[in-house]
Amino acid sequence: MPINLKYVPVFRARQQEIIVLDSFDFGDNIYPLIEIVKAKDRSNSTATFVEIYSRIINAVTARKVFVDLPLYLKESGSMQDEVLAFSRRVISNREIRTQHLNSLAALNQKIIPVISSYILKTGEAGTITSQTNDLRPNYPSLAFRLFVPTFETDWTEVLANATSSDYIILDLDTMPPYPSPILKRSIIPKLKAINNIPKIVIRSAINPDIQNVKIDHGNVIVEADNSIIENFRLFGADACGDFAGIKKDDLTAGGTISPGFIYYDAVENQYYGFKGDVKNLSEFEATIVPAIVNSASTTRMIDSGIPYLSMENVGWRILQNIASGHESGKSQAKFKRIAMEHYLHCIKQKIAVEEIN
């Protein structure tokens, strides 16, 4: 069992996430999980699925990369067209989804494909076994991603198929990150009984209901809860995971300008919110960045003795460049990258000083 794995950040293969995947050095203790949610990284790309995602995965500086075509996505009319089309054409069809994962098998020493049950997606039974049978010949390691609503049904299949070279992922979605009665009664005892397979518990710290317009400027976002990195051992897990410091959104189309930023305070392990006074991109430079740079959170991290805000922190470096006028801050997308880069750097530092262990 690889004892080096401590943290699994979840990325969607979208523009800003791909930039971070390409630039961040994950080291030996972090294995990113990439959720492929559409056929192409850019709508105008002429490359094939294999060419696009092989390039993205190859560029990731990590020992291993989990790759998922996520079954938990809830299809809706407001979902982005290309995501909805991919979900219906590829993800919802077990055989086609498996073919897509197997098409990346040239990278099987780096990729760990992720398997989930189809029971809630299509009602099809025995799909963990059938996926294992189809993927095992091409991949030395597999990951089984389980969700609370179907855990009991799926667990028997996982036990019948998982080996010591595999991984078990419990995805709590937005459930409170504390062992609740339902978890204590059945799920946690089962996880704790398994000692030869690495176990990871994932939870979205920033739920989709948190909106920039509702942020209390400069104050803690009480609805955000990142305590999974402190208590994942209570779940019988060997590592923890989340959505890399950003919100797990519903992949909906469009959206309006709403200047806001959710800033991770690594000392308190809490998120603070900052927002503009008006709906204009200039508010990032005029209001949000100065407030972040001069915040108590920034002071705490600088004074902590841990290099959370060193120049190796790309997110912090971009904030400094914007504050000094050397770089434009008039981009909502750029602040998504800043949030991820800053959070991942802080988590890497926490691992280095064994705050995550």
CATH number of the domain that 166 lies in? 3.20.20.70
Residues 269, 234 share a domain: no
User: In 172-318, which ranges are E strands?
Assistant: 199-202, 219-220, 239-242, 260-265, 270-275
Domain boundary among 231, 248, 265: 248
Coil, strand, or helix at residue 114?
A: strand
Residues 286, 164 share a domain: no
Coil, strand, or helix at residue 51?
A: helix
Residues 337, 226 share a domain: no
Structure tokens that stand for 228 in this block: 């999974």
CB 260 within 8 A of CB 275: yes
**Residue 2 belongs to a domain:** no
**Alpha carbon distance 357, 74 (integer Å):** 34
Residues 291, 148 share a domain: no
Residues 112, 36 share a domain: yes
**Alpha carbon distance 122, 106 (integer Å):** 30
**Residue 214 belongs to a domain:** no
Range of the domain at 298: 256-357
The pLDDT tens digits of the residues spanning 21-69 come to 999 999 999 999 999 999 998 878 899 999 999 999 999 999 999 999 9
How many domains does the structure of the chain reveal? 2
User: Which residues, listed in sequence order, are joined to residue 35 by a DSSP beta bridge?
Assistant: 12, 68
Segment holding 342, helix H or strand E = helix 332-352
**Residue 58 belongs to a domain:** yes
**Residue 130 belongs to a domain:** yes
Residues 276, 132 share a domain: no
Residues 270, 234 share a domain: no
Comparing CA positions, the residue from 264, 181, 192 lying closest to residue 232 is: 192
The pTM of this model reads 0.95
Residues 310, 166 share a domain: no
**Residue 116 belongs to a domain:** yes
User: Which residues, listed in sequence order, are joined to residue 8 by a DSSP beta bridge?
Assistant: 241
Residues 306, 243 share a domain: no
CB 206 within 8 A of CB 243: yes
> Which of the 8 DSSP states describes residue 87?
I
Tell me the pLDDT of the chain averaged across its residues: 94
Residues 204, 265 share a domain: no
> Which of the 8 DSSP states describes residue 278?
S
**Residue 215 belongs to a domain:** no
* Beta carbons within 10 angstroms of residue 234's beta carbon: 16
Residues 309, 350 share a domain: yes
* Ordered per-residue pLDDT tens for the chain, 357 residues: 445 899 999 999 889 999 999 999 999 999 999 999 999 988 788 999 999 999 999 999 999 999 999 999 988 888 899 999 999 999 999 999 999 999 999 999 999 999 999 998 999 999 999 999 999 999 999 999 999 999 999 999 999 999 999 999 999 998 988 999 989 999 999 999 999 999 999 999 998 888 877 888 999 999 999 999 999 999 999 999 999 999 887 787 766 788 999 999 999 999 999 999 888 999 999 999 999 999 999 999 999 999 999 999 999 999 999 999 999 999 999 999 999 999 999 999 999 999 998
**Residue 28 belongs to a domain:** yes
Question: Residue 275: is it exposed, middle or buried by C-beta count within 10 angstroms (0-12/13-18/19+)?
Answer: buried
User: In 258-349, which ranges are E strands?
Assistant: 260-265, 270-275
Comparing CA positions, the residue from 98, 95, 99, 238 lying closest to residue 164 is: 238
- State residue 289 phi and psi, 5-degree precision: -60, -45
User: Which residues, listed in sequence order, are joined to residue 220 by a DSSP beta bridge?
Assistant: 272
**Residue 216 belongs to a domain:** no
**Alpha carbon distance 63, 70 (integer Å):** 22
Residues 117, 204 share a domain: yes
Sheet holding 270-275, edge to edge: 219-220, 270-275, 260-265
